[in-house]
């Protein structure tokens, strides 16, 4: 029940992390100059529930982020009641639970064998220690495998856009048909499909990989039930450390046990529920399957006071040392590409309000919330632009979308504050720059004498415009003198929004392009002396 509730809540919040729909109901919000468009629902709620995100942000970013009292609450809860979170709240856990429960891949003996505690379960502690150590050295990799970030990213960047694209292809086909009723179905369908799956065809760089990884991790449930929770989940590992003091404990009555092994067959956490073995408090995900399966009532969950320390988490020295070592090396290796200290990639354009790169990497969870919410689909997961350290961090791709001048949705949703909260007024009046445009005169239509065009100037949103036109005479390719309007970029006005690049009629490599130089968040990455 509670699992279903939280899974549905998670997906609901995920769908709600979009351009708010209530502006269709109350337009006064949109017409109010002082008030910015904000999301109606606290879409960051699940991230604020996540103690791993809280802890890593705390030790890397040294800041207590607003709203993370929830995560603290979860830690306290775990302290008293064990990994209740995994069994009752975690939406990704619920999904694994479902996949493992409906048509299990393994039959009786094989399942019992698969549910024995396995040394590979130490791997999650390795990951936990790696993430904590790396965070301490200023690189927050948690989001790569944190269940909330992983689940949100997978659903919002791969699963939903994938399904949406499929449905839309179908609806488009219906719209093109000559049968009137199919047209109506198509138009009607769009009304329901678009708010859920996004308007237009969504595209995210490397989304195919995010999707395949997600499917692969679901598939692992066929090798062992809740493979992810047992072996990979770093949040589960963190909660496991606190779980040993739990007062909610599994009590075993060996005298009643008939060695039927039904408890082990149903144990999704491989926490040794069989009487005769010591119960693994830090592995138990409190699904209560064993309790329900036992025909003899030989095992029961009971509240025991005073707290009695259960078996300590089986980390293994190798996992601890390996984790420390890896956590030490990743941040150092991640800086070897020189992006932090020497020169950053010109195409690494961060969302408006992003912190300076160094602080950004301390806080960004790569959860994809900003990418999901961007109405123009400009924000994409970075592949190489931000180096290894910034894999899947947000990056604006201006040929795919652009940063709308008055929009501040992404800054409002960032759960950890890697993108600072901006108001529309602040964004425009400061102004917050994310880069600067430059013209490729060899490709530009008027500059190369191939025709007249003013699209970039026309679309430039600043006032006064950052792209200016000057009537000049140039030579066309066949040598004739022509008088055309030539675009010039005024770097002092340009904020790097990228609409010029997005709408430039020169396809392929647009004739006007935006690079990150001039971005407000960096002191070094500047062009002009005066700011």
Partner 1 sequence: MNYHPITRRQSIKKLLKISGGLALTGVVTWPLQKTISAWAGSTNKKFIIEGIGQNHQYSVKALARKVFEAAGGIQKFVSKQDVVVIKPNISWARLPDLAATTNPEVLEAVVELCQEAGAKKVRIADHTIHDARRCFAITGAGMVAKKTGADLVYPRSSLMRNMKLRGHRLDVWPVFLPLVEADKVINLPVAKVHSLSGLTLGMKNWIGAVGGRRSALHQDIHLTIVDLAQFFNPTVTLIDATRIMVANGPSGGSRSDVVVLNRLILSDDPVAADAKAAGLFNFRPRDIGFIGLGEKWGLGTTEFQKLRENKVII
Within 13 Å, how many C-alpha atoms sit on residue 46's CB side? Answer: 29
* Strand (E) or helix (H) holding 249: strand 248-252
Question: Which one of residues 239, 361, 386, 460 is an interface residue with partner 1 (CB under 8 A)?
Answer: 460
* Nearer to partner 1 (CB atom), residue 58 or residue 469: 469
Binding piece for partner 1, criterion CB under 8 A, among 18-26, 56-64, 301-309, 435-443: 18-26
At closest approach, how far in Å is the CB of 424 from partner 1?
10
Q: Measured from the CB of residue 478, what is the shortest distance to partner 1 in angstroms? A: 16
Stretch that binds partner 1, among 48-56, 130-138, 152-160, 170-178 (CB under 8 A): 170-178
**Cβ burial 81-101 (10 Å sphere, 16+ → b, else e):** bbbbbbbbbbbbbbbbbebbe
Find the binding residues for partner 1 in span 497-526 (CB under 8 A): 503-505
Near partner 1 by CB under 8 A: residue from 229, 407, 491, 514: 407
Min separation Cβ 27 and partner 1, Å: 4
Q: How many residues bind partner 1 (CB under 8 A)?
A: 49
CB of 411 to partner 1, least distance (A): 16
Closer CB to partner 1, 183 or 329, in the complex: 183
Please state the closest distance from residue 496 (CB atom) to partner 1, in A: 16
Question: Does residue 190 belong to the site contacting partner 1 (CB under 8 A)?
Answer: yes
The yes or no reply on residue 276 touching partner 1 (CB under 8 A) is no
> Which residue in the set 132, 455, 497, 515 belongs to the binding site for partner 1 (CB under 8 A)?
455
Give the dihedral sign, CA 99/102/106/108: positive
The answer to whether 40 and 20 have CB atoms below 8 angstroms apart is yes
> Least CB distance from residue 155 to partner 1, whole Å?
21
**199 sits near partner 1 (criterion: CB under 8 A):** yes
Question: Which residue in 165, 194, 329, 526 binds partner 1 (CB under 8 A)?
Answer: 194
User: Nearest distance from residue 21's CB to partner 1, in Å?
Assistant: 9
Can you count the helices (H) and strands (E) in the chain?
A: 24, 8
Q: Binding of partner 1 at residue 31 (CB under 8 A)? A: yes
Closer residue to partner 1 in complex, CB, 168/350: 168
Asked if 375 is part of the footprint of partner 1 (rule: CB under 8 A), the reply reads yes
CB of residue 42 to partner 1, shortest distance in Å: 21
465 binds partner 1 (CB under 8 A): yes
Find where tokens 């047992």 sit: 230
Which C-beta is closer to partner 1: that of 280 or that of 457? 457
CB of 230 to partner 1, least distance (A): 43
- SS3 of 318-377: HHHHHHHHHHHHHHHHHCCCCCCCCCCCCCCCCCCCECCHHHHHHHCCCCCHHHHHCCCC
**In 3-state terms, the chain is what percent helix, strand and coil (to 5)?**
45, 10, 45
Site for partner 1 in 203-262 (CB under 8 A): none
Nearer to partner 1, 329 or 462 (CB): 462
Binders of partner 1 in range 68-97 (CB under 8 A)? none
Q: Which of the 8 DSSP states describes residue 530?
A: -
Shortest distance, CB of residue 368 to partner 1, whole angstroms? 19
Nearer to partner 1, 237 or 455 (CB): 455
CB of 172 vs partner 1, minimal distance in Å? 5
Within a 13 Å sphere around the CA of 44, how many CA atoms are in the beta-carbon half? 24
Tokens linked to 387: 């180096």
Pick from 296, 345, 404, 440: which binds partner 1 (CB under 8 A)? 404
Cis ω before 253 (30° cut-off from 0): no
Task: Quote the CA–CA distance of 225 and 346 in Å, as a whole number.
Answer: 45
Binding segment (CB under 8 A) for partner 1, from list 149-157, 196-204, 354-362, 473-481: 196-204
Task: Specify the pairing of strand 299-303 against strand 248-252.
Answer: antiparallel
Q: Which of 376, 408, 416, 436 binds partner 1 (CB under 8 A)?
A: 376
Cα separation, 504 vs 455, whole angstroms: 6
Gap between the Cα atoms of 217 and 224, Å rounded: 11
Q: How far apart are CA 98 and CA 381, in angstroms?
A: 29
Residue 79 tokens read as 């302290």
Q: Does 37 bind partner 1 (CB under 8 A)?
A: yes
Degrees to nearest 5, angle at CA 92 with 135 and 164: 105
Distance CA 329, CA 452 (A): 54
Contact between 454 and partner 1 by CB under 8 A: the answer reads: yes
User: Is residue 33 a contact residue for partner 1 (CB under 8 A)?
Assistant: yes
Q: How many CA atoms lie within 13 A of 204 on its CB side?
A: 33
Q: Dihedral sign for Cα 154, 160, 163, 165, please.
A: negative
State the nearest-atom distance from the C-beta of 35 to partner 1, in Å. 12
Cβ 526 to partner 1, closest distance in Å? 24
DSSP summary character for residue 278: -
Q: Tell whether residue 159 is a contact of partner 1 (CB under 8 A).
A: no
Supply the minimum distance, in Å, between the C-beta of residue 370 and partner 1. Answer: 16
Q: Using CA atoms, how far apart are residues 502 and 400, in angstroms rounded to an integer?
A: 7
HEC sequence for 382-441: CCCCCCHHHCCCEEECCCCCCCCCCCCHHHHHCCCCCECCCCHHHHHHCCCCCCEEEECC
DSSP result, 182-196 = HHHHHHHHHHHHHHH
Contacting residues for 155 by C-beta, under 8 A, at least 6 apart = 11, 14
Q: Per rule CB under 8 A, is residue 179 in the interface with partner 1?
A: no
By CB under 8 A, tell whether 485 contacts partner 1: yes
Tell me which residues touch partner 1 (CB under 8 A): 19, 23-25, 27-31, 33, 37, 168, 171-172, 175-176, 186-187, 190, 194, 199-201, 375-376, 404-407, 445, 451-455, 457-465, 469, 485, 503-505
């Amino acid at each position: 029940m509670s699992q279903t509730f939280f899974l549905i809540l998670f997906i609901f919040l995920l769908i709600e992390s979009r351009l708010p729909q209530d502006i269709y109901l109350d337009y006064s919000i949109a017409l109010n100059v002082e008030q910015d468009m904000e999301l109606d629902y606290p879409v960051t709620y699940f991230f604020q529930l996540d103690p791993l995100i809280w802890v890593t942000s705390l030790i890397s970013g040294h800041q207590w982020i607003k709203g993370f009292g929830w995560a603290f609450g979860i830690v306290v809860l775990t302290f008293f009641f064990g990994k209740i979170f995994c069994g009752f709240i975690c939406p990704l856990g619920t999904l694994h639970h479902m996949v493992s429960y409906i048509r299990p891949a393994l039959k009786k003996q094989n399942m019992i064998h698969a549910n024995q505690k396995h040394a590979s379960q130490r791997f999650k502690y390795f990951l936990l220690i790696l993430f904590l150590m790396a965070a301490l050295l200023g690189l927050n990799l948690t989001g790569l495998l944190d269940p909330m970030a992983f689940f949100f990213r997978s659903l919002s960047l791969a699963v939903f856009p994938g399904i949406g694209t499929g449905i839309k292809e179908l609806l488009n086909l219906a719209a093109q048909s000559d049968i009137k009723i199919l047209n109506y179905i198509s138009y009607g369908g769009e009304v329901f499909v678009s708010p859920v799956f996004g308007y237009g065809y969504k595209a995210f760089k490397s989304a195919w990989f995010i999707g395949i990884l997600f499917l692969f991790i679901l598939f692992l449930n066929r090798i062992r039930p809740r493979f992810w929770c047992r072996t990979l989940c770093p949040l589960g590992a963190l909660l496991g450390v606190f779980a040993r003091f739990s007062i909610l404990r599994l009590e075993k009555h060996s005298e009643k046990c008939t060695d039927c092994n039904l408890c082990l067959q149903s144990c999704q956490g491989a926490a040794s529920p069989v009487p005769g073995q010591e119960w693994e408090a830090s592995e138990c995900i409190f699904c209560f399957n064993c309790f329900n399966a036992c025909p003899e009532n030989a095992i029961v969950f009971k509240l025991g006071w005073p707290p009695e320390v259960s078996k300590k988490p089986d980390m293994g020295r190798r996992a601890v040392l390996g984790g420390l070592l890896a956590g030490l090396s990743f941040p150092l290796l991640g800086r070897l590409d020189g992006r932090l200290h020497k020169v950053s990639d010109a195409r690494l354009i961060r969302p408006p309000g992003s912190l300076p790169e160094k602080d950004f990497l301390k806080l960004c969870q790569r959860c994809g919330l900003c990418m999901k919410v961007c109405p123009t689909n400009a924000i994409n997961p970075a592949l190489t632009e931000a180096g290894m350290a910034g894999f899947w961090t947000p990056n604006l791709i201006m040929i795919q979308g652009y940063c709308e001048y008055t929009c501040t949705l992404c800054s409002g949703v960032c759960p950890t504050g890697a993108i600072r909260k901006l108001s529309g007024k602040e964004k425009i009046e400061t102004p917050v720059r994310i880069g600067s445009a430059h013209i490729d005169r060899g490709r530009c239509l008027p500059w190369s004498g191939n025709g007249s065009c003013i699209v970039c100037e026309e679309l430039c949103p600043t006032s006064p415009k950052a792209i200016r036109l000057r009537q000049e005479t140039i030579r066309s390719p066949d040598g004739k003198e022509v008088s055309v309007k030539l675009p010039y970029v005024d770097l002092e006005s340009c904020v790097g929004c990228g609409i010029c690049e997005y709408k430039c009629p020169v396809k392929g490599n647009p004739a006007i392009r935006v690079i990150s130089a001039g971005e407000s968040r960096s002191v070094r990455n500047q062009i002009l002396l005066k700011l």
